Amino acid sequence: MMTMIEPELIQLKSNEYAIIHSLATYYEYDMSRYCGHLPGWEFPIDGTYTSKALLKNLKAYFTEKDKYPFLIRIDEHPAGFVMVNKKGTTPDVDWNMGEFFVVATYQRRKVGQRMAREAFDRFQGRWEVAVIPQNTGALKFWEPLIANYSHGVYTRELKTLMFPEQHQMIVFGFQTPTYKEK
């Protein structure tokens, strides 16, 4: 059995959006497993699987301040992405996991756990991670990871968010273990 090379979390520059654009199709397809029956997540009639709304959201990470796009890379191959921003549900949130994706090839190999932990460690402070309630795969990933990372000190709330339109999310809140209150 071949050993997997360690994943890297590479911060992208403004001119490196193309790789994220390409990965977006797989991200949206992967989400359809849990959310495909929800309004706005239906399989497109034309067979293309990337929504204009998702692409606009991802593109903003390359054009707006306080948004940080990262590529997950393994052995020079793209393996997913991590999008961090400062848009929480309350003013005291320092960091928000805007989007997070690991391609199927690397799922269930602890790549996502390592990359999420690395993002949390890079951006010290109060964090939020929001998950669509029907996305049971994401809930099974995030809750134990956050519980372990925060040493069990976290919140889990069902919140109604108003952007981009009114929708419910399960929002996990925690702070990095080495973060000191201001």
Q: What is the pLDDT of residues 85-124, one digit of tens each?
A: 999 889 999 999 999 999 977 777 889 999 999 999 999 9
What range does the domain containing 74 cover? 8-175
The answer as to whether 45 is a domain residue is yes
pLDDT of residue 25: 82
Residue whose entry in the numeric block shows the structure tokens 């134990």: 144
66 or 110, which is more confident? Answer: 66
CATH of the domain at 79: 3.40.630.30
The answer as to whether 182 is a domain residue is no
The answer as to whether 2 is a domain residue is no
Q: What is the pLDDT of residues 131-166, one digit of tens each?
A: 989 888 999 999 999 999 999 999 999 998 776 666
Say yes or no to pLDDT of 2 above 60.
no
Q: What is the pLDDT of residues 26-62, one digit of tens each?
A: 877 777 666 655 666 666 677 666 666 677 888 999 9
pLDDT of residue 177: 85
The answer as to whether 1 is a domain residue is no
How many structural domains does the chain have?
1
Say yes or no to pLDDT of 76 above 70.
yes
Residue whose entry in the numeric block shows the structure tokens 């848009």: 87
Of 12-16, 23-27, 41-45, 68-72, the one with minimum mean pLDDT is 41-45
C-alpha distances in Å from residue 88, one per residue of 80, 116, 154, 164 = 23, 17, 15, 14
pLDDT of residue 1: 47
The answer as to whether 17 is a domain residue is yes
The answer as to whether 55 is a domain residue is yes
The answer as to whether 157 is a domain residue is yes
21: DSSP letter: H
The answer as to whether 158 is a domain residue is yes
E strand or H helix at 60: helix 52-60
Mean predicted confidence (pLDDT) in 61-86: 94
β-pair partners for 71: 10, 81
- CB count, 10 Å around CB of 127? 25
